Amino acid sequence: MDLSGNDQIGFVQFDMRTDDGQPDQTIIAEGAETFNMAPNWRVLGATKIDGIGSEWKTYTLMFQNTGAYTMFNIFHPQMSQGEVLGNIYVDNFRVYQVNPYVKMPVLHGHSCYTGKSFNV
């Protein structure tokens, strides 16, 4: 998915729930810029979501440094030996970007470094 615009910030939003009477569940959502499935990817981070219960709840995650070939993955890991994995339902999945209100700052290197001070 091309998320190279808008200062390379992308959002993933979805609704999630489990079956009634099931223990709370955990998922991990992660993102990566694949550079069109090149050998080296830029991992955008992972978020662990605990306490997914039987009521629908909306989750919104933000990823920075997205690009033209960004992908997202959601998985349901077994967090401990013997843990019973129940069903998790996902609905209304969307990926989007917003126009930033403030432009991202551009970092500049220093000059005239003397060991005690420098110019920016």
Residue 73 covered by a domain: yes
Look at residue 110 and tell me if it is in a domain: no
Query: Residue 20: which domain range?
Result: 6-96
Is 66 a member of any domain?
yes
* CATH (domain of 55): 2.60.120.260
Backbone φ, ψ for residue 110 (5° rounding): -85, 165
β partners of residue 115: none
53-93 per-position pLDDT tens digit: 999 999 999 999 999 999 999 999 988 898 889 999 999 99
Q: How many domains does the chain have?
A: 1
pTM score, whole prediction = 0.81
Distance CA 79, CA 49 (A): 12
Q: Is residue 86 part of a domain?
A: yes
Query: pLDDT tens across 15-56, in order?
Result: 999 999 999 999 999 999 999 999 999 999 999 999 999 999
In a domain, 118, yes or no: no
